[in-house]
Each structure stands twice: as structure tokens, then as C-alpha cells.
Amino acid sequence: MAEEAILGFLNHNTQISDSGQFAAQLGFDHNEVVNVIKSLHGFRYVDVQDIKKETWVLTDEGKTYAATASPEMLLFLAIPPQGITKDELQKKLDPAVYKIGCSQAAKNKWVELGKLVTRKVQQVEDKVKNLLLQIQDGKVVGQDDIKALKARKLIAQQIWKGYSVSKGPNYAPERKKVATDLTRENLQRGDWKELEFKEYNFTAKGLPIDGGHLHPLLKARIKVRQQLKDIFRQMGFEEMPTNNFVESSFWNFDALFQPQQHPARDSHDTFFLQAPSTTNELPEDYVERVKCVHESGGYGSRGYGYDWKRAEADKNLLRTHTTAVSSRMLYALAQKPFVPKKYFSIDRVFRNEAVDRTHLAEFHQIEGLVCDRGLTLGDLLGVLHDFFSRLGMSKLKFKPAYNPYTEPSMEIFSYHEGFKKWVEVGNSGMFRPEMLLPMGLPEDVRVIAWGLSLERPTMILYGIDNIRDLFGSKIDLGLIKKNPLCRLGI
């Protein structure tokens, strides 16, 4: 209807001078008229000129005053001829009306604000209400009055946009229907000769292709993993093979001098396999030495003093840490003439624990170790400072901790500039003699090691405080599309 009215009007007139007035006269919604004008202008049926009008409209507070009265008028009317105390007057009025009314009435010299509030004049005019009603009716108001009302936030400026419309180069009393496709029916009927086709816009952009997006953790595994590997290699480390997710309890726990009664070996903390449930590939002579050091000690240790069970060591499980790989590598190293080594690994581990804001049932562990003669705690501190400084973590603190297979042991903390606090980033220590000497390593050989997760730095990078927002069913899919490459400032 609006399109017919616009084209029909221009058929007998040269111009629509104001789209707002045109819409009002014909009873159309102005937004509908504007949309039709834009469409006709796009096909050059009409030419348009922008019209902008600055108008003043009442705020919600201004509408209230226009409907009732201004606060100063309400206050004036609440004062009896003999006067009234401030407390009594305040009880008669709304707190906001009382506060604004006192200020404005005193400013207008309508009242005397002493111990007793009295009228200074007998009759007043509510100029504020009258001005608001004039603005509401679209009447012109003086600039001084506009400034006063604007200062009291009773009116706000509104910019009205419309168009003046005239005939365009392709004007016609009725819009021609242009074809967008040449169909089989057009060819059969032969009417393709008379068809007018819509011009093809070669510069128009097509719909954006919503292709695949890398998950932040996947980026972390690809980008950060490679960068961490580069750091380890620059420091002279070799990568350990980590392709066995399934490990025996012997290599995962017993070889690390972790007692069989340790809570971490319970089914509540470990995923044990049903099939195959046990292993039959363990070095028997080494197993016997491990059994002896657990039961009765040796190498300067008293051991744990319990009956070590082979059946417990044979159980298969999903490895709980990549230190199981380290125990295999150190045992293999001990079977040859000793050569100092630096090893590292980055791969997935599994823990049978409740998932919460900081824990998952599976995560990625980064581990490094140095095996050499005469190493001390000072060497471990130096290597840790070197390693973490290459990750952009120069402020480090260390806290004593307990691990069954390291002594001394230390938790590693780094100061996070974004969080403005110290954040735990890893664990470290020196492997115990009860772990190393049964393998056959020389007595003066020491092993320093440390580990951290891949998920914790990723959470810090993306400002995520709940790991379930990073991995699992609650993740924000928008994060996957918008997040940058995970580089950790390396």
C-alpha cells in the first residue's frame, strides 16, 4: 500500500517534500514508508534527499510533571497560609518531590525556608508544567527555557530522520517485476525474450562460510605443545615415547616407590582396566628388587614394612601421570653404561576424580627430567628458572611438598600479572634412591624432575576460571570461533 501511494503521488506531483508528513497524512507508519523509499531508491525508481530534524522530547520525569505538576508547585500547594514545619511538610510529600521542590521554590522566591516554611507570594504559575506541555504538543519554546529544562533532565534531544522524494531515472507508476533466474518454463513458453532480468552485483559478498574452528585446547595441543617442545629441545632435552595410555600398576606406582596402600592407587582415584586386567610383561629381577625395597628397605631406607603383592602390581590401568614413562626410560638407561640424559614428555593422563571448576578426569601433563652425577636441589632450581622464564614466567616461588617418589619435593608458583596473585603452575623434586638404585643406576647419579599441566596455562590465557567452560558440555561455542591462537606469550 505504501509503495503504491508513493509511486501514485509522484505520478501527479514532482516531489514528496517530507516523508514524515506524507506518512501522517495517509495514516502509514513512517518506518514502513522509509523502508519502501529505500527499496525504490535502490532500483532508481526515486531519488531521495536526507532530512534531519532536531526535536525535544520529554523524559520519564518530564512526562510525570506534565501529567501532574512540578515538584515546586506541589510543595507550594502543600503549604497552608499560616505556614508549616519542615518535618510536617516532609511527611506530606514524596522525598524526591520535597527535596527538588524546596530547592526550586526557594530559587523562584515562592517560599521562606526557616524553622517554619511559609509562602512569600499568594499565587504562582507552574511554568515548568506549561513549558513541558508546549514541548509535548510540538510548539516552539525559547532557548533559555530549553536550557533550564535540559539542565533538570526533564527533556532530551531527539534527531528525527526522514526523506524528501522525487522521481528517479527508472521511475514508473508501478514497479516492474524483474526476473532473477532463467527457468525451463521461460524457454518453453518463449517469454524469455521479453523478460527483464535483475542486474547481477559482482561486488556483493556471499554468505560467510562457517567453517571448522579449532578448540582452545586443541590449539594448545598444537601450538603450545610445539613451542614447549622447541623450548625443551633448545635446552638439550630428548622426547620420551608416550604412546601407551594403558600402563601397569608396577610402572605407574611400584617402580616409583609408591606403596600399594597409597590412596591414589584406590579405584576411586584410578581407572583400572577390565580387559586385559593384568600384564605379564615385567622384568622379573627388577620386580624382585622393587618388592624388597618396599617390604624391608635397602639402599639406606627402612622401606614401608608391609607384604608387597605381585597381583596388585600386575593390574592394568590408564596411566595417572607421565612419570610412568619416566620410570621405564630410567630403567632402560640403567641397563647400559651410564650416560647423562635429559628427557621430556607431553601427553594425556587420566584421573578417576570428581569433575569440578579446576579438575577434569583427563588432562595433559608436561614433564621434564635431568639424569646426571652429583645433581643437587640448586641444579633443580636453576633448571626451573631457565625453563619457566622461556615461558614468560620470570617470578617464581617454591613451597615444600610431599611426593612418594621425590625427596625433597617442591610446588612451583608463578606470579600472574592479570590475576595479581601467585598461581600454582607445577610440581617438582629429586627422585628418591629407593626408586633409582633398584633400577641399577650408579649410586652417585641423581635425577631432578618437574611437571605441569597444559590446561592450567590455557585457562590463564583465556581468562577462564572454570575448566568446564573450556572442556565438556558447558563450553561456549562462541569462544571456539572467536579465540586467537594460543601462544602463552612465548
In a domain, 237, yes or no: yes
In a domain? residue 449: yes
Is residue 243 domain-shared with residue 112, that is, in the same domain?
no
Tell me the average pLDDT across 297-304: 88
Neighbours of 188 (CB within 10 A): 9
> Based on the domain organization, do 346 and 473 belong to the same domain?
yes
H helices, E strands: number in the chain: 20, 15
pLDDT-derived band at 237 (thresholds 50, 70, 90) equals very high
Q: The CATH number of the domain where 450 resides is what?
A: 3.30.930.10
Residues 28 and 76 reside in one and the same domain: no
Residues 69-79, mean pLDDT to the nearest whole number: 92
The answer to whether residues 141 and 162 belong to one domain is no
**Inside any domain, residue 199:** no
* pLDDT tens per residue across span 446-487: 999 998 887 766 666 556 666 666 666 666 666 666 665 544
Residue 210 in any domain: the answer is: no
Buried b (16+ CB within 10 A) or exposed e, 92-127: ebeeebbebbbebbbebebbeeeeebebeeeebebe
Q: Using CA of residue 324, residue 327, residue 333, residue 335, what is the dihedral sign?
A: negative
Assess if residue 380 is contained within a domain.
Answer: yes
Mean pLDDT score, 72-91: 91
pLDDT value, residue 206: 82
Q: How many whole angstroms separate alpha carbon 459 and alpha carbon 91?
A: 57
* Res 214: pLDDT: 67
- For 106-165, what is each residue's pLDDT tens digit? 999 999 988 899 999 989 999 999 999 999 888 888 999 999 999 999 999 888 888 899
**Dist CA 313 CA 340 (whole Å):** 29
All three cell numbers of 236: 638439550
- Average pLDDT of the chain is 85
| C-alpha count within 13 angstroms, C-beta hemisphere, residue 81 | 2
3-state SS, residue 31: helix
Q: Over 80: is that where the pLDDT of 51 sits?
A: yes
8 with 77, same domain?
Answer: no
- pTM: predicted TM-score of the whole model, two decimal places: 0.54
Least confident of 168-177, 279-288, 354-363: 354-363
Query: At 490, is the pLDDT very low, low, confident or very high (cuts 50, 70, 90)?
Result: very low
Based on the fold, state whether residues 38 and 86 are members of the same structural domain. no
SS3 236: coil
The larger pLDDT score, comparing residue 480 to residue 369, is at 369
For residue 143, being part of any structural domain is answered with yes
Torsion of CA 464, 467, 470, 472, to 10 degrees: -150
pLDDT digits (tens, 9 = 90+) for 313-358: 999 999 988 999 999 999 999 999 999 999 999 888 888 776 666 5
Number of domains in the chain: 3
- DSSP state, 266? S
Q: Could you tell me if 112 and 258 lie in one domain? A: no
Please give the pLDDT value at position 337: 92
Query: Which domain covers residue 220, as residue numbers?
Result: 216-482
> Is 203 inside any structural domain?
no
209, part of any domain: no
In terms of Cα–Cα distance, which of 404, 229, 224, 438 is closest to 321? 404
* pLDDT tens sequence across 403-421: 888 999 999 988 877 667 8
Q: How far apart are the first and last CA of the chain?
A: 64
Helix (H, G, I), strand (E, B) or coil at 67: helix
Pair (106, 144) in one structural domain = yes
pLDDT in tens, 424-449: 888 999 999 999 999 999 999 999 99
Query: The C-alpha cell of 349 is what?
Result: 593422563
Mind listing the pLDDT tens digit for each residue in 193-233? Answer: 888 887 777 888 888 776 676 665 565 555 667 778 888 99
Mean pLDDT of 359-364: 72
